[in-house]
Amino acid sequence: MGAIQAGSTGLAPRRISAVTGSARAAIAHNQAMVLPAACLFDLDGLLLDTEPLHAQAWREAAAHFGCPLSAEQLLALRGRRRLDCAAQVIHWIQQSGGQPPSSDALLAVRQPIAEALLGHARPTPGAVHLVRRCQELMIPMALATSSSRAAVELKARPHPWLAAIATRVHGDDPELEAGKPAPDVFVLAASRLSVPAAACWAFEDSPAGAQSALAAGCQVHVVPAPDLSGDDRARLYPGIEIFLKSLEQVRLE
């Protein structure tokens, strides 16, 4: 792939070589591009491998109320705020013929399971290197997550490298009007970095998060679940052109 060179940023010209396949096709028409004004990162499933843990917690909580969740349903919960997920699971419980619990009752089952699991989440491949490289090159970063502040603190505690991302928008941020797939979280994250969202690169893994970043106007890089077919990716990630196998495929030079 052709080199992507930095513009007049006040730093020495830099190059980024990244990704394969569809990502190359997406930018092959323009081999001279500037680096992003900022990088906006999702947390769960993107920087930390938490999604299997979240899925286990939702699966066990829904089963407690007599509703087994399918892999497709669990994928639909990815990237969304806790209360939005709870509302969706309650709807599925009702659809399955069960007695729908209140949100508080559902979360009373789910949260202890999740909290016991999430402190053990590991970084995803390439996450630590990419964050540190952005820091070295003075590329501003922000966290754009659906997780609450308390949940982020729990998950980040074993990972001091995440402190490099000081600007954060949490799912319970008082300035956040709507969660993913609405664009608000990425628009707010870019605003706090004083850059336009359209000048940012957003890194996501979930369909809801990808649509959120796309609606905000970011250039979106998606690390989808590895077992998705090409047809599934097209269906779940409409409008997305840049897919990564992992964050290891991003190289800042």
Catalytic site residues? 42, 44
Bridge partners of residue 167, in order along the sequence: 142
For 233-243, letters b (16+ CB in 10 Å) and e give beebbeebebb
Amino acid at 31: Q
Token pair 């997780």 in the structure block, residue: 147
Residue 28 main-chain phi, psi, to 5 deg: -65, -25
Token pair 């809801």 in the structure block, residue: 208
Output the CA–CA distances (angstroms, integers) from residue 169 to 178, 230, 239, in the order listed.
Answer: 12, 32, 24
